[in-house]
Structure formats: C-alpha cells, structure tokens
Amino acid sequence: MEKDYKIYGIRGATSIEEDTATLITERVLELWNEITSKNDITRIISVIFSVTSDIKSLNPATVLRKTLNLDSIPFMCLSESEFENSPTKIIRVLIICESSTPNFVYLHKASQLRK
C-alpha cells in the first residue's frame, strides 16, 4: 500500500541533568536521531525548540543546524513559559514536516511529561 505523506507537527522533548554544552549537544542529537528513526520524514519545513530558563550554556537550535548542516531550514529557540511545578532542565522540540508518521519522542526525564 502506498504511504500517505502529510504535513505533521512532530513533538519531542528531552532533559539534561546539568547545564553544559557537552550534555546539551549529546541530548539534542540523541533526540533528533530518535525522532528521525521513528518517523518517515521526507521534508522538514521548520524546527522550533523551547528551553526552560535554567538552560543557558548552548542553544539547541544552533547544535542541530550546525551539526547537521541544515542551513536552509528555519530554526527557532524560545523560552518555555513556566508555571507552578513546571519541570526543570527540559528541551522541547516541534518539527513541522512532511511525513507518513507522527510519532512523538520523549526521552529521559521528559518521558514523564505526557503520561
């Protein structure tokens, strides 16, 4: 059967235990690899990250854009709004893309976000 490709917003999130450039790089690439292996993305339209206010050492959008050489894709990184009991040190991503699947990926402490 032919696959049905549509425009989806694919969500993902991960967490870090400490705010270091090394760990942010590792976790962002792990999240990206998981999302791309669990989906069938044929075209990326835009990628929006959010970070909680305790993440300062490196911008996840820059990590991905530079590592994967994705200069033609619009990236953004925004501050996540915080409310009482909001979880800390979370990196979230929304990928607007063409895919035959919309499988969301939540890793590490972020796996608690959508129980």
Ligand X SMILES: O=C(O)C(=O)C[C@]1(C(=O)O)C=C[C@@H](O)C=C1
Residue number closest to ligand X, CB atom? 113
Q: Which positions from 48 through 107 interact with ligand X, judged by CB under 6 A? A: 80, 92
Stretch 1-40: interaction string toward ligand X, x if CB under 6 A = ----------x-x---------------------------
3-state SS, the chain, equals: CCCCCEEEEEEEEEECCCCCHHHHHHHHHHHHHHHHHCCCEEEEEEEEEEECCCCCCCCHHHHHHHHCCCCCCCEEEEECCCCCCCCCCEEEEEEEEEECCCCCEECHHHHHCCC
Of 7, 45, 78, 113, the one binding ligand X (CB under 6 A) is 113
Binding site for ligand X (CB under 6 A): 11, 13, 80, 92, 113-114
